[in-house]
Amino acid sequence: MSIITVQIGQCGNQIGEKLFDTIISDSLEFKPNKNQTNLNYYKTLNENYVEDCKERFFSYCDNSYRQDKLYARSILVDMESKVVGKLLNQESNYIFRSSNSYTQKKGSGNNWSYGYCINAPKSSQKIEDIIRKETERCDRLSSFLICMSMAGGTGSGVGSYYTEFLRDNYPRTSLVNTCVWPFSTGEVILQNYNFLLTLNKLYENSDAIILLENDILHQICKRLSPHKEITFDDLNRIIGHKLASILQPCLGDGQQNNYLNQVITDLCSHNDYKLLSLNNVPIMSQQSIDYSTFKWNSLYKNARQLLYTGGYMDEGLKWGLDGVSNKTLALSLFARGLNDSDFEHTDLVNGFFDKTYMNKHFSTKAFGGLWPCPLKLWQQSRPFNNYEKSLSLLSNSQLPAFKIDMLIEKAWKMFSSKAYLHQYIRYKGFKEENLLNAFIFTEKLVKNYKNL
């Protein structure tokens, strides 16, 4: 079961790089604890884990030359050649196939319309070939993971185009978009328009949208290293960690594998609700991990608090009971690391997410109660990415909708004075109505979530 990552735009490519870096370092550079008992068991556990991981994310060379090398199952698309070129040239434990990349000279100028209407159709013939070849390398394709930003022109415009493209050409394969939400202070002047147009297109075609906010990532980095200047590289590293923590092998009840399409089935089966937030407990800097010990008890406690207060990290968590209450439709928990007590994970989950908690925070008016299976637990006793124990929460909840609401307001102010609109209409195939429809659609989406 494999996942093909489609990296679109500068941001998408950088995220993809960090994702594969995390996966490969987590898989290959694992050293079991020295005072570990039962070493043989962990050895086979680790071997299976690495084997599974390779099958998911990497393929081998087609011909005999360099057969031992791992090739990322990844497709690199950018309208400029700088970032992709750098990725192709790096020497690491794995390689991006140069035949899997598409670049050209002229970027999309931060304009969704230019990316969607001009750049993307121009490249579609070549990219179709690339995608087809890559899918043929997989015995079984679970899903496409599309990495993109929502601010720039290439990520948002070309990304929207290819999400639509993949949906048309691979209707039976699930599509998951990982979208980076721009800084609210603004990286690009057109970002709010771009955001709405992208969200509209993705909602039509994608199965799930994982939203990652630069604002929050920045705050996390700030806490991890308060005295350092924070770069995009740091933010992307966090994203890589987050994504890998849900994509690496894990088992559900009945030895079910956490293939991405399976995870998505649990979380986003309803068409109107497919915004996902991704949180991790704990998040720490590399230095402090070595000096910390964790208890599952406290991790679950933090996770549960994090979920309903809508926080982003276990440090500085709000413990008050009032304030915003975040309704969640469905949650997938990924528990990685050794069990430390007599309690099984299922007991812990049932203890912390008990009936009253579920009824308060998972039960919705729109569905007349809980979803059929609102909470899913995935387990893996092999530790992940140097964390002795870690917990990831992938949830379909109200929180993103509130933020989108604020963004709509800003964008509407611009739109009502028709600011920058000519930049979009310039390109053939884009009309003012498109943007207006995106507004209407997004407002409906927000309303759906708010009325839960």
Partner 1 sequence: MSQIQVKQIISSFCKILEYFNFSKITPEDLRLAKFNKPNAAPKMWKLLFELVNYLKTRNKLDNQLISNEFDSLGPEKVVKFLKEELLKLGYSCDDFFKLKSSFDENDTSSREILISIGWLISSYEIIKLFIANSNSLLDEEYFKENALMAMNLSEVKKEVDISKSHIMSSSSKDLYIYLNNLKLFDGTFKNNLNSLHSCLSEKVSLTHKVHSETSGSFSCLELHLLKNPDQIEKYEKILEKKIEVQNNFLLWIKNEEPFWTWMESVLDEKISENELNLINSDEVNTESFDYLFAQVLNENVNKAKKVECEFDKNVKKLEDLQHDIKSKIYSDKQQELDRQQLTSLKHFEKEIIQKFQNILLDDNLGYSKCNNRSISDTFEPRLNYIQNKSTNDSQKIKNMTNITEINRKLDEKVKCLENIFDKLKQTATTKCEQISSELEDCYVVYNE
Contact 138, 96 (CB under 8 A): no
Q: Which is nearer to partner 1, 200 or 262 (CB)?
A: 262
Q: Of 27, 262, 328, 397, which lies in the binding site for partner 1, with binding defined by CB under 8 A?
A: 262
Q: Of 103, 265, 350, 386, which lies in the binding site for partner 1, with binding defined by CB under 8 A?
A: 265
Structure tokens belonging to residue 309: 């207060």
Q: Of 34, 105, 140, 355, which lies in the binding site for partner 1, with binding defined by CB under 8 A?
A: 140
Q: Does 363 bind partner 1 (CB under 8 A)?
A: no
Q: Does 139 bind partner 1 (CB under 8 A)?
A: yes
Min dist. Cβ of residue 354 to partner 1 (A): 21
What secondary structure letter does DSSP report for 384?
A: B
Contact 19, 244 (CB under 8 A): yes
Q: How many CB atoms lie within 10 A of CB 61?
A: 14
What residues have CB less than 8 Å from 90, skipping those under 6 apart? none
**Partners of 213 in beta bridges:** 181
For partner 1, the binding residues in 1-30 under the rule CB under 8 A are 1
Provide the b/e sequence for 133-172 (b: ≥16 CB within 10 Å): ebbebbeebbbbbbbbbbbbbbbbbbbbbbbbbbbeebee
Min dist. Cβ of residue 332 to partner 1 (A): 14
For partner 1, the binding residues in 174-193 under the rule CB under 8 A are 174
Q: Which is nearer to partner 1, 285 or 359 (CB)?
A: 359
Min dist. Cβ of residue 367 to partner 1 (A): 5
Min dist. Cβ of residue 76 to partner 1 (A): 24
Q: Does 91 bind partner 1 (CB under 8 A)?
A: no
What is the Cα gyration radius of the chain? 21
CA 198 to chain centre: 16
Min dist. Cβ of residue 272 to partner 1 (A): 7
To 10 degrees, the CA torsion angle through 72, 77, 78, 82?
Answer: 30
Q: Which is nearer to partner 1, 366 or 421 (CB)?
A: 366
Site string for partner 1, 367-396 (x = CB under 8 A): xxx-xx------------------------
- Site residues (CB under 8 A) for partner 1? 1, 139-142, 172-174, 207, 259, 261-262, 264-265, 268-272, 365-369, 371-372
